[in-house]
Amino acid sequence: MLIIIWLFDFLFYSDTAGTGVANYLAAIQAGADIVDVAIDSMSGMTSQPTMGGVVAALQNTKYDTGINMDKVNEYSAFWEQTRLLYAPFECTTTMKSGNADVYKNEIPGGQYTNLQV
């Protein structure tokens, strides 16, 4: 069971399985007005899908956000450096990338890191 919160045309999704951008694109086509993203350097796994991925995927479509990708990349580079300061506290000891275990074991994406020891 995958838990997705979709209220009032707003969508939040943890990208634990790595399918968040695709899910957001489908939701936008179905009428979602707002999707919750994270800047690229802070996205993925148990965080939200990548902002750059969503913005790029929507370019030149009727859903184009008008957001400048150069600015997204610049902002992401800043947070990538900042994130290094917190590396000792990351959950990446055992989780290095997206993982579809959440589908088999019915784990809500945001809870996945709580099980890491």
Torsion angle of alpha carbons 66, 83, 28, 59, nearest 10°? 30
- The partner residues of 12 in beta bridges, in order of sequence, read 5
Q: Is the dihedral of CA 3, 19, 9, 31 positive or negative?
A: negative
- In contact, 36 and 13? CB cutoff 8 Å: yes
pLDDT at 57 over 80: yes
H-only helix segments in the chain: 20-30, 51-58, 69-83, 101-105
pTM over 0.85: no
- Cα distance between residue 111 and residue 116, in whole Å: 9
Q: What is the pLDDT of residues 20-54, one digit of tens each?
A: 888 889 989 988 888 889 888 888 777 788 899 99
The full set of domains in the chain, from first to last, is: 5-115 (3.20.20.70)
